Chain A
Amino acid sequence: MSPAGLSFVAALVGLGLAAVAGFALPGAARPAVVGALSAVSGCAALVAGVGALAGQAWSVSLPGVLPLSGLVFAIDPLGGMFVAVTGGVVAAAAVYGVGYTGHGLSGRLPQSVFPVFAAAMLLVPAAATVGALLVCWELMAVASLLLVVTEHRERPEVASAGRWYAVMTHLGFAAILAGLMLFAAAAPGDSFAALRAAAPGMTPGSRTVVFVLVLAGFASKAGIVPLHAWLPRAHPEAPSHVSALMSAAMVNLGIYGIIRVGFDLLGGGARGWWIAVLAVGAVSALYGILQAAVATDLKRLLAHSTTENMGLVLVGVGAAGIFATSGERVLAGLALVAALLHTVNHAAFKTLLFLAAGSVLRATGSRDLDALGGLRARMPATTLLFGVGALAASALPPGTAFVSEWLLLQALVHGLPASGAVTAIAMPLSVAVVALTAGLAVVTFVKAFGTGFLARPRSEAAARAAESPRGMVAGMVLAAGACGVLALAPTVVVSALGRATAIGRLAADPISGNAVTVRLGGVAGALSPLMLAVALLAGVIVVLGALRLLASRRARREARLWDCGAGPPTPRMEYTATSFAEPVQRVFDNVLRPEQDVEVTHADESRYLVAAIEYRRAVPDRVERRLYVPVLTALRAWGRAARGLADGSVHRYLGYGFGAVTVLLIVLAVTR
Chain B
Amino acid sequence: MWRLWRKIRKTGRVAEPAPARPAGPLTSVAARLGGSVQIRHVDAGSCNGCEVEIGSAFGPVHDAERYGARLVASPRHADALLVTGAVTRNMVEPLRRTYDAVPGPKLVVAVGDCARDCGVFKGAYGVVGSVGDVLPVEVSVPGCPPTPEAITAALRGITGR
Q: Is A563 an interface residue (CB 8 A)?
A: yes
Complex interface: chain A residues within 8 A of B75 (CB): 562
How many angstroms from the CA of A565 to the CA of B40 in the assembled complex?
13
Complex interface: chain B residues within 8 A of A559 (CB): 100-101
Q: Give chain B interface residues in 20-58, CB to chain A under 8 Å.
A: 42
Q: How does the 8 Å CB contact mask read for B53-70 relative to A, with 1 for contact and 0 for none? A: 000000000000000000
- Of B76, B97, B104, most buried by chain A (CB within 10 Å of CB) is B97
Select one of B94, B100, B103, B104 contacting A564, CB under 8 A: B94
User: Quick check: B101 and A566 within 8 Å, CB to CB?
Assistant: no
User: Quick check: A562 and B95 within 8 Å, CB to CB?
Assistant: no
Select one of B91, B95, B100 contacting A560, CB under 8 A: B100
User: Quick check: A565 and B93 within 8 Å, CB to CB?
Assistant: yes
B102's nearest neighbour on chain A, judged by CB, is A559
User: Quick check: A562 and B76 within 8 Å, CB to CB?
Assistant: yes
Instruction: Report the minimum CB–CB distance from B41 to chain A (whole Å).
Output: 13
Q: Is A625 an interface residue (CB 8 A)?
A: no
A554's nearest neighbour on chain B, judged by CB, is B104
- Of A554, A559, A560, A566, most buried by chain B (CB within 10 Å of CB) is A559
Complex interface: chain B residues within 8 A of A626 (CB): none
Q: Is A572 an interface residue (CB 8 A)?
A: no
How many angstroms from the CA of A562 to the CA of B76 in the assembled complex?
8
Q: Is A643 an interface residue (CB 8 A)?
A: no
How many angstroms from the CA of A557 to the CA of B75 in the assembled complex?
15
Select one of B91, B97, B104 contacting A563, CB under 8 A: B97
Q: How does the 8 Å CB contact mask read for B99-110 relative to A, with 1 for contact and 0 for none? A: 011011000000
Complex interface: chain A residues within 8 A of B97 (CB): 560, 563, 565
Instruction: Report the minimum CB–CB distance from B24 to chain A (whole Å).
Output: 26
Complex interface: chain A residues within 8 A of B94 (CB): 564-566
A568's nearest neighbour on chain B, judged by CB, is B97
Instruction: Report the minimum CB–CB distance from A557 to chain B (whole Å).
Output: 7
Q: Is B98 an interface residue (CB 8 A)?
A: yes
Complex interface: chain A residues within 8 A of B95 (CB): 565
Complex interface: chain B residues within 8 A of A554 (CB): 104
Q: Give chain A interface residues in 460-489, CB to chain B under 8 Å.
A: none
How many angstroms from the CA of A307 to the CA of B75 in the assembled complex?
45
A567's nearest neighbour on chain B, judged by CB, is B93
Complex interface: chain A residues within 8 A of B93 (CB): 565
How many angstroms from the CA of A535 to the CA of B125 in the assembled complex?
63
Q: How does the 8 Å CB contact mask read for A557-601 relative to B, with 1 for contact and 0 for none? A: 101101111100000000000000000000000000000000000
A-B contact count (CB 8 A): 22
How many angstroms from the CA of A559 to the CA of B75 in the assembled complex?
12
User: Quick check: A562 and B103 within 8 Å, CB to CB?
Assistant: no
B76's nearest neighbour on chain A, judged by CB, is A562
Instruction: Report the minimum CB–CB distance from A547 to chain B (whole Å).
Output: 15
How many angstroms from the CA of A563 to the CA of B100 in the assembled complex?
12
Instruction: Report the minimum CB–CB distance from B88 to chain A (whole Å).
Output: 13
Q: How does the 8 Å CB contact mask read for A252-266 relative to B, with 1 for contact and 0 for none? A: 000000000000000
How many angstroms from the CA of A562 to the CA of B75 in the assembled complex?
8
How many angstroms from the CA of A560 to the CA of B96 in the assembled complex?
12
Select one of A557, A560, A562 contacting B74, CB under 8 A: A562
Complex interface: chain B residues within 8 A of A566 (CB): 94
Complex interface: chain B residues within 8 A of A562 (CB): 74-76, 101
How many angstroms from the CA of A51 to the CA of B65 in the assembled complex?
70
How many angstroms from the CA of A514 to the CA of B70 in the assembled complex?
53
Instruction: Report the minimum CB–CB distance from A308 to chain B (whole Å).
Output: 37
How many angstroms from the CA of A564 to the CA of B95 in the assembled complex?
10
Complex interface: chain A residues within 8 A of B91 (CB): 565
Complex interface: chain A residues within 8 A of B42 (CB): 565
User: Quick check: A565 and B98 within 8 Å, CB to CB?
Assistant: yes
User: Quick check: B103 and A557 within 8 Å, CB to CB?
Assistant: yes
Instruction: Report the minimum CB–CB distance from A440 to chain B (whole Å).
Output: 30
A566's nearest neighbour on chain B, judged by CB, is B94
How many angstroms from the CA of A564 to the CA of B101 in the assembled complex?
10
Instruction: Report the minimum CB–CB distance from B155 to chain A (whole Å).
Output: 23
How many angstroms from the CA of A560 to the CA of B97 in the assembled complex?
9
Complex interface: chain B residues within 8 A of A560 (CB): 97, 100-101
How many angstroms from the CA of A37 to the CA of B76 in the assembled complex?
56
How many angstroms from the CA of A91 to the CA of B134 in the assembled complex?
64
Complex interface: chain A residues within 8 A of B76 (CB): 562
Q: How does the 8 Å CB contact mask read for A622-647 relative to B, with 1 for contact and 0 for none? A: 00000000000000000000000000
How many angstroms from the CA of A564 to the CA of B40 in the assembled complex?
12
How many angstroms from the CA of A422 to the CA of B12 in the assembled complex?
57
Complex interface: chain A residues within 8 A of B74 (CB): 562
How many angstroms from the CA of A559 to the CA of B76 in the assembled complex?
10
- Of A560, A562, A565, most buried by chain B (CB within 10 Å of CB) is A565
Instruction: Report the minimum CB–CB distance from A562 to chain B (whole Å).
Output: 5
Q: Give chain A interface residues in 651-671, CB to chain B under 8 Å.
A: none
How many angstroms from the CA of A26 to the CA of B75 in the assembled complex?
63
A561's nearest neighbour on chain B, judged by CB, is B101
How many angstroms from the CA of A565 to the CA of B97 in the assembled complex?
5
Instruction: Report the minimum CB–CB distance from B97 to chain A (whole Å).
Output: 5
Complex interface: chain A residues within 8 A of B98 (CB): 565
Q: Give chain B interface residues in 70-126, CB to chain A under 8 Å.
A: 74-76, 91, 93-95, 97-98, 100-101, 103-104
Q: Mind listing 22 A-B residue pairs with CB under 8 Å?
A: A554-B104, A557-B103, A557-B104, A559-B100, A559-B101, A560-B97, A560-B100, A560-B101, A562-B74, A562-B75, A562-B76, A562-B101, A563-B97, A564-B94, A565-B42, A565-B91, A565-B93, A565-B94, A565-B95, A565-B97, A565-B98, A566-B94
Binding site for A on B (CB under 8 A): 42, 74-76, 91, 93-95, 97-98, 100-101, 103-104
Extra 18 A-B pairs, beta carbons < 8 Å, given A559-B101, A560-B101, A562-B101: A554-B104, A557-B104, A559-B100, A560-B97, A560-B100, A562-B74, A562-B75, A562-B76, A563-B97, A564-B94, A565-B42, A565-B91, A565-B93, A565-B94, A565-B95, A565-B97, A565-B98, A566-B94
Nearest 9 pairs between A and B by C-beta? A565-B94, A565-B97, A562-B101, A565-B98, A562-B76, A559-B101, A562-B74, A559-B100, A566-B94
